[in-house]
Amino acid sequence: MAEETNAGLFSGLASLRSLRAFHLDNRTYEEDFVEDVQNQLRENKNGPVLKRYNVL
């Protein structure tokens, strides 16, 4: 069974004042989901970064 991740699932990232980083594992996500997260992070005044990590 494949998992589905929709763009907009993490809405509001741009307005989180204390956000410094958003951690996302290296699984395969839909391109539009990752782009949505990156766009929200770019809009955040703190300049949080997207960090990817490997799942063992």
CB within 8 A of 32, min separation 6: which ones?
Answer: 7
Q: Is residue 4 part of a domain?
A: no
Cβ neighbour number for residue 48 with a 10 Å cutoff: 18
> What's the domain count of the chain?
1
Structural tokens at position 55: 């799942």
56 residues of the chain, pLDDT tens digit each: 345 556 667 799 999 999 999 999 988 889 999 999 999 999 999 999 999 999 87
In a domain, 3, yes or no: no
Residue 25 is assigned to a structural domain of this protein: yes
Q: 30 in a domain, yes or no? A: yes
> What is the span of the domain harbouring residue 40?
16-53
Q: Is residue 5 part of a domain?
A: no
Integer Cα distance of 36 and 13 in angstroms: 10
**Residue 7 falls inside a structural domain:** no
pTM of the full structure:
0.78
In which residue are the tokens 């741009």 written? 14
Q: Is residue 34 part of a domain?
A: yes
